[in-house]
Copies of this chain bind each other. A is one copy, B any other.
Amino acid sequence: MTGDRQISVALPTIRRLPMYVGILEKAVQDGQVHVSSSHMAAALGLESIQVRKDLEAVGVAGQPRVGFPVAELVTAIERFLGWDNASDAFVLGAGHLGMALAGYRGFARYGLNIVALFDNDPCKIGQKVHGKEILDVARFADLAERLHVHIAILTVPAEAAAEAATLAAQAGIKALWNFTPTKLAPIEGMIVERVDLAASLAVLSSKLSSVLRPAHSEVPEEAA
């Protein structure tokens, strides 16, 4: 019953877990010790049954009539996500997006610590952004191994994505957060998660488009 926990947890559940951390931290600040699934659900626009199902996955039991222990829940979720102790990460590609991510202070909360950026542009190498140095990509593998960095954030141009991913894998990177529009072929021994802006924009613009040009031919209905 405990053995295959990580693997059997639904992906949508994992994606929702950070939201729980958010409202639970607020609850902690308010001095609440317990919080009910219906309270959390209301705060997040979900159903209480879904909250209970999600929390089942992280293995914290609630108390009937009382709710779930707030502090324990935060700890358990962060542990489940691997956010309990900060992981170092390298940014691969010091373009605008790479620099923006390197400067985002919110990652600290997610246990992500960006250590340095890497680029192949001699003009950029040696510069500092947000107190983090831009290093020569030639030094990537060596530094990743010596500093035991196993997370890389991929922000190179689309054309360079595949090559950069291979470099990362050879450098012993275990988890690659891919911000490029390139869908990479699976690489043995490396987990890849992509932030797919095109997919997100597709949802937005198709919805917008169906509002602006109201579908097709509901007209007869109205006319009749």
Contact assessment for A7 and B215 in the assembled complex, using a CB-CB cutoff below 8 Å: yes
The complex places the Cα of A44 from the Cα of B197 at a distance, in Å, of 17
Determine which of B14, B96, B212 lies in contact with A206 in the assembled complex, contact meaning CB atoms within 8 Å. B14
A175's partner among B87, B151, B208 (CB-CB below 8 A) is B208
Which of A112, A177, A208: most chain B Cβ within 10 A? A208
How many residues of A sit at the interface, in one of the four size bands? 35 or more
- Residues B174 and A217 in contact, CB atoms below 8 Å apart: no
Partner of A100, one of B80, B96, B203, B217: B96
The reply on A204 being an interface residue by CB < 8 A is: yes
Check: A123 CB closer than 8 A to any chain B CB: no
Q: Which of A10-69 contact B (CB under 8 A)?
A: 11, 14-19, 22, 44-45
Comparing A103-111, A137-145, A161-169, the segment that makes contact with chain B is A103-111
Q: Are A150 and B82 in contact (CB under 8 A)?
A: no
Closest CB in chain B relative to A55 CB, distance in Å: 15
Q: Whole-angstrom distance between the alpha carbons of A215 and B59 in the complex?
A: 13
Interface string of A188-224 (1 = CB under 8 A from B): 0001011111111111111111111001111001000
In the complex, are the beta carbons of B6 and A206 less than 8 A apart? yes
A3 at the interface (CB under 8 A from B): yes
Q: Is the CB of B202 within 8 A of A175?
A: no
